Amino acid sequence: DTEVTQTPKHLVMGMTNKKSLKCEQHMGHRAMYWYKQKAKKPPELMFVYSYEKLSINESVPSRFSPECPNSSLLNLHLHALQPEDSALYLCASSLKPPTYEQYFGPGTRLTVT
Amino acid sequence: TQLLEQSPQFLSIQEGENLTVYCNSSSVFSSLQWYRQEPGEGPVLLVTVVTGGEVKKLKRLTFQFGDARKDSSLHITAAQPGDTGLYLCAGQVRNTGGSNYKLTFGKGTLLTVNP
């Protein structure tokens, strides 16, 4: 089973709202990732958690706040977003070396109004 | 600096034709992955190549990793409309220390196979 699940599938939020995106995997993977993807562009890395600790933050604005409650769950808390933050938000996970191949979830389509 | 140059960026062909997508870099990669992504969905892992010169086949798809592990290609034989999608190459650059979890993505190839 190589499934990563994400909820919700779609989200519309106003610029003053607070919402959260959720990601779950039960493959025993110890690295989890958040990516942002604009249409017809490659995913852009936002955050990496390794063994439940934040290991990479790609200079993401503080209005995005990641959380890893346990090895299977990853959240992305959203607050005071801008319309330009509208995108497909992808979660991924990977096992360990040597290949680090990442498995992606189906994404959350976020629209900020 | 774009570490992975992927070409072509767009490709529109007729059903039954063959095609090749290229992924090139000046950096050496520990491994390289190919993904296919359909609109509104997440990328789906197709293959991982690790060894220089490696060739892997997945039905009508053939993947090659260059001998020096700096380039890769994806060849599709007798393309079908179901092959339509965004193809992404991605790899881990060697000797990046704490960034070993990072994937470097190519810009993608948007393939359309017309019936």
Measured distance CA(B113)–CA(B37) in Å, rounded: 14
Q: How many cross-chain Cβ pairs, A to B, lie less than 8 Å apart?
A: 72
Q: Is B31 on the interface with A (CB under 8 A)?
A: yes
Mean pLDDT of the region A49-65: 93
Q: How distant, in Å, are the alpha carbons of A12, A50, A101 from that of B48?
A: 35, 21, 7
| pLDDT for the residue B59 | 96
| pLDDT for the residue A40 | 87
Measured distance CA(A62)–CA(A79) in Å, rounded: 9
| pLDDT for the residue A41 | 92
| pLDDT for the residue A98 | 58
With an 8 Å Cβ cutoff, are A41 and B108 in contact?
yes
With an 8 Å Cβ cutoff, are A88 and B40 in contact?
yes
Burial B57-90, CB ≥16 within 10 A → b, else e: eeeebbbbbbeebbbbbbbbeebeeebbbbbbbb
Average pLDDT of the residues of chain A: 93
pLDDT per residue over B49-66, tens digit each? 999 999 999 999 999 999
| pLDDT for the residue A72 | 95
* Chain B contacts in chain A segment 80-99 (CB below 8 A): 88, 90, 92, 94, 97-99
Whether the pLDDT of residue A11 is over 90: the answer is yes
* Chain A contacts in chain B segment 59-98 (CB below 8 A): 86, 88, 90, 92, 98
Mean pLDDT of the region A87-93: 97
Whether the pLDDT of residue A73 is over 80: the answer is yes
pLDDT per residue over A20-38, tens digit each? 999 999 999 989 999 999 9
Whether the pLDDT of residue A101 is over 90: the answer is no
Please, are residues B97 and B64 in contact by the beta-carbon 8 Å criterion?
Answer: no
Whether the pLDDT of residue A93 is over 90: the answer is yes
Q: Is A52 on the interface with B (CB under 8 A)?
A: no
Whether the pLDDT of residue B24 is over 70: the answer is yes
| pLDDT for the residue A1 | 61
pLDDT per residue over B60-115, tens digit each? 999 999 999 999 999 999 999 999 999 999 988 765 555 566 788 999 999 999 99
Scanning every residue of chain A, which has its alpha carbon at the shortest distance from the alpha carbon of B88? A42
